[in-house]
A and B are shown apart, each in its own frame.
Chain A
Amino acid sequence: GIQVEQSPPDLILQEGANSTLRCNFSDSVNNLQWFHQNPWGQLINLFYIPSGTKQNGRLSATTVATERYSLLYISSSQTTDSGVYFCAVPRRAGTASKLTFGTGTRLQVTL
């Protein structure tokens, strides 16, 4: 099956710093999702980004499908950005999609 790798595995930032998280995948994909898992465990949708660049406030994401990677940018980080960031790519399961998740980047933002 498809392999999804994320880097770095852990990241500590001071509040206000910028960061880039990377997601590499081993096969071609037709879409990709980024999630933020908060300390209570909930997975929050950040981006659905099969290709190109999207921005949402301080976050933006870029997927270069031909080169099999996606980047998540966090600017002016805040303590509320702490948690684990996952990328995930879909594979078909019958008529549904099943997501294969990367191993995640654990981000801690300190004061």
Chain B
Amino acid sequence: ETGVTQTPRHLVMGMTNKKSLKCEQHLGHNAMYWYKQSAKKPLELMFVYSLEERVENNSVPSRFSPECPNSSHLFLHLHTLQPEDSALYLCASSQLPFLGQGNTGELFFGEGSRLTVL
């Protein structure tokens, strides 16, 4: 138990569906992240939110739409995905390393949401 919870754990969707992935952290952190892990590829950073503001969008297609309503919750809205978007989507959180002493910026990950697009 890392303190970062992702739902659903598994999702199968068609290319015309709209679905959302949810992430919740109980660690009191103030930065949240979405990573994508495809088969035989390194983990790729998708989005970074710092104090609920998006600070990084790593050239992600617009069919992926993140939302961070507060520092504890992060969503990834999915719309008209392609089969090549099938992957494990991992959420992470951290305490901002540049605010306050003793914050290492160490990331903690959820269990992931395994997405299959048919």
Contacts and interface: CB of A to CB of B under 8 A. Distances in A.
Interface of A: 31, 33, 35, 40-45, 48, 86, 88, 90, 92-104
Contacts, number: 83
B31 interface: yes
A103 B42 contact: yes
Interface of B: 2, 31, 33, 37, 42-43, 45, 48-51, 53, 55-56, 88, 90, 92, 94, 96-99, 104-112, 114
Q: Is the interface of A mostly helix, strand, loop or mixed?
A: strand
B25 to A, nearest CB: 13
Contacts of A48: 104, 106
Nearest to B106: A48
B90 A102 contact: no
Q: Which 10 pairs show the lowest CB-CB distances between chains A and B?
A: A94-B55, A97-B105, A96-B31, A43-B109, A96-B50, A41-B112, A93-B56, A101-B43, A42-B111, A93-B48
B50 A94 contact: yes
Contacts of A88: 43, 107
Contacts of A33: 106-107
11 contacts: A40-B111, A41-B114, A44-B2, A45-B108, A48-B104, A93-B55, A94-B50, A95-B50, A96-B97, A98-B45, A101-B42
